Each structure stands twice: as C-alpha cells, then as structure tokens.
C-alpha cells in the first residue's frame, strides 16, 4: 500500500509508520502529482490550495483516502472524490483553539478600538481619551456556524459576559436554524462568521443583511472571504451602516495591494492569520493522520470523515 505524504511532516510521521507502508515524500507540486498516480493514501496539502485539487486530479484508481489538515474543503474536488468513492478526512479541530482565540481578540480589538490605539502609537500621539468604550459584558453575539470552532468562540465570549446565540443546521442545543438568523440580525452587537464554506454560505452577507444589523454592530469573519459581498460591505462601512468589520479571510487571497478593503473605514484586515497563530498545527495534524491511518488499515471508523455532499 502506497501513501503520498508531505516531506515537511516526515520527521513526525516516519518513525511511526508501519514497516510495510510504501511512503512517498513530496516537496514540490510536480512530485505530488507524479506520486499520487498509483497511491492508495494521499496527504497532499499545499499552498496555494489550488495545488491540492490539481494533485488529486492526477490520482489513479487505487486512491481510497485523502487526508488534510485543512478544516475547510472548498479547495478539494469533492465531485471527483465522491465519484471515485474516496474518503476524505479533514482537520476540523486542529486549529480550533487558535482560531477561537483570534475571534475573541478581534472582538476585544473592536470593542476597545485597539487598532486606533496602535495607529496613535505609530504617530507618537498620546490619546486623551479611549477610542473604544464598549464592555463585552451585556452585549449579544450571533455565531453563524456553531461547530467545533463556533462553540469554542461562544464559550470564550460567554466568559466575558456576552449572551451568545449559535446557528446550526439542526437547531440543536438551543441554537437557531439557518432560516431564522436573518430576521434576528438587528438584535446582535457582534455577528461572527464561523460556518464551513459551501454553496449555501456563498455571499450570505450582502446589502440586506448588513442593512438589518445595528449601526453599532461589528461583523467578524474567521470563516471564508466569499461569504461576504465586498461591495455591500464597503458601502456599509463607508456610510456608517455598521460600526466595523474584522476580516481574517478575504476574497481573493492575498488581498491585492490596491483593493479598496485595505483603506475602507473601520475595516480591519488580518490576512488569514488566525489558524497560523500557533505552533502545534503540524504536530496535531500528524497525530491525527497516524490515528486515522491505524483505523484505515484495520478497517475501523476514522475521525473527521467529511460529508462530501454537505461540503464539510
């Protein structure tokens, strides 16, 4: 049995791989494309993520399992995997703590306008008053996408006294369903996007949704950039329709230097750094792969098996 694996993970994986597993280590996209042709297992994460889909399309008929440390699956050719009955396991949970902490940081930065404080420091200007005076206690947050990351964000915001409402497909555990959140947007001070990227979430925040939010509310996106209509957001921020937005992902990425979001009033762009703001991602990813490998070889259920129809 052959597995195509990233050379960067070799020190973490090789000592613990079964002796009879044929491990092929790639360092370049063209190596992954060639090695996957006769592979049974593939972990072919690369940047930019378009390279992942390209590699998978070079796979032969033996491919049975694709592993990734990415939580979002928008880079993967899900139709191809489904048609060839390939199992895909994702990295849900690997970056959850880091991303949740980043979302809480974004909320605090917005509440206290710490971005304004830092810019004043750059100018060597002593501010005579605090630019942000919102206390989190007593505010309300809507978290759209209450999975692993969403729940972690909710738990952490709740500790600050924020009243949290989550959105899930089923409305489980006191959350609300996807057909209910739009009519309640005006009730929240913080709207946090933490949903997986699917056809249903594309451009989910547009003119109507932004108009329904409080003028004092902030939009915080730690999910995917294509969930927001940029023109609508730029207009809402420029006209004061909402107070501000913290955008970790953008569309496209990297955001071009001349893109208007860079200079839109009260837009804070954080360059999709949330998942990278930690040092354990690869170690956790390797541990998850090894655990799933043992299950795969034993014919037992694996962790984080993606629903290719749902897209996550």
Beta-strand pair 218-221/267-269: unpaired
As a whole number of Å, the CA-based R_g of the chain is 21
Question: What token pair was written down for 196?
Answer: 């997986």
So what's the pLDDT on residue 52? 95
Task: Report d(CA 72, CA 90) in Å as an integer.
Answer: 8
Answer for the pair 246, 110: CB distance below 8 angstroms, yes or no: yes
Task: Report d(CA 145, CA 157) in Å as an integer.
Answer: 15
- Look at the pTM and tell me if it is higher than 0.75: yes
Domains in the chain: ranges and CATH: 2-94+278-298 (3.40.50.720), 96-276 (3.40.50.720)
Task: Report d(CA 221, CA 248) in Å as an integer.
Answer: 6
Reading the chain (312 residues) residue by residue, the pLDDT tens digits are 999 999 999 999 999 999 999 999 999 999 999 999 999 999 999 988 899 999 999 999 999 999 999 988 888 999 999 999 999 999 999 999 999 999 999 999 999 999 999 999 999 999 999 999 999 999 999 999 999 999 999 999 999 999 999 999 999 999 999 999 999 999 999 999 999 988 889 999 999 999 999 999 999 999 999 999 999 999 999 999 999 999 999 999 999 999 999 999 999 999 999 999 999 988 999 999 999 999 999 999 999 999 998 888
Beta-strand pair 190-193/218-221: parallel
Query: Residue 305 to residues 70, 93, 124, 289, 309: CA-CA distances in angstroms?
Result: 12, 13, 52, 12, 12
Task: Report d(CA 305, CA 81) in Å as an integer.
Answer: 13
- The closest alpha carbon to 246, from 107, 71, 40, belongs to 107
Q: How far is CA 8 from the centre of its chain?
A: 22
Question: What token pair was written down for 197?
Answer: 């990227």
Calculated CA dihedral for residues 192, 198, 201, 202, nearest 10 degrees: 120
Answer for the pair 258, 232: CB distance below 8 angstroms, yes or no: no
So what's the pLDDT on residue 150? 97
Answer for the pair 170, 164: CB distance below 8 angstroms, yes or no: no
User: Positive or negative, the Cα torsion across 59, 64, 69, 74?
Assistant: positive
Answer for the pair 268, 106: CB distance below 8 angstroms, yes or no: yes
> Catalytic residues, which ones?
224, 253, 272
Runs of H (alpha helix) within the chain: 10-13, 29-35, 50-56, 78-83, 96-112, 114-122, 148-159, 207-212, 230-239, 281-298
Task: Report d(CA 87, CA 302) in Å as an integer.
Answer: 10
Question: In angstroms, how far is the first alpha carbon of the chain from the final one?
Answer: 27
| Whether the bond into 166 is cis, omega within 30 of 0 | no
- The closest alpha carbon to 205, from 251, 154, 157, belongs to 251
């Amino acid at each position: 049995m052959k597995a195509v694996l990233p050379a960067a993970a070799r020190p973490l994986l090789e000592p613990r791989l079964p002796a009879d597993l044929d491990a092929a280590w790639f360092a370049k996209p063209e190596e992954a494309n060639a090695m996957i042709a006769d592979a049974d297992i593939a972990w072919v994460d690369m940047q930019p993520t378009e390279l992942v889909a390209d590699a998978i399309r070079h796979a032969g008929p033996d491919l049975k399992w694709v592993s990734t440390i990415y939580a979002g699956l928008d880079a993967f050719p899900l139709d191809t995997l489904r048609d060839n009955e390939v199992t895909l396991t994702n990295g849900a949970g690997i970056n959850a703590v880091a991303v949740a902490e980043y979302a809480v940081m974004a909320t605090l930065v917005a509440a206290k306008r710490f971005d304004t404080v830092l810019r004043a420091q750059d100018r060597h200007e002593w501010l005579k008053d605090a630019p942000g005076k919102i206390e989190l206690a007593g505010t309300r947050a809507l978290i759209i996408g209450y999975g692993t990351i969403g729940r972690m964000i909710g738990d952490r915001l709740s500790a600050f006294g924020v009243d949290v409402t989550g959105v899930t497909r089923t409305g489980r555990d006191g959350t609300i369903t996807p057909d209910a959140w739009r009519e309640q947007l005006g009730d929240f001070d913080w709207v946090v996007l933490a949903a997986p990227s699917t056809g249903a979430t594309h451009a989910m925040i547009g003119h109507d949704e932004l108009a329904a939010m409080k003028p004092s509310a902030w939009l915080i996106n730690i999910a995917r950039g294509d969930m927001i209509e940029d023109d609508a957001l730029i207009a809402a921020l420029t006209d004061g329709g909402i107070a501000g937005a913290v955008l970790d992902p953008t569309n496209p990425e990297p955001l071009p230097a001349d893109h208007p979001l860079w200079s839109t009033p009260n837009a804070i762009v954080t360059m999709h750094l949330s998942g990278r703001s930690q040092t354990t991602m690869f170690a956790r990813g390797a541990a998850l792969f090894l655990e799933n490998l043992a299950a795969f070889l034993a014919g037992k259920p694996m962790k984080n098996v993606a629903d290719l129809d749902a897209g996550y």
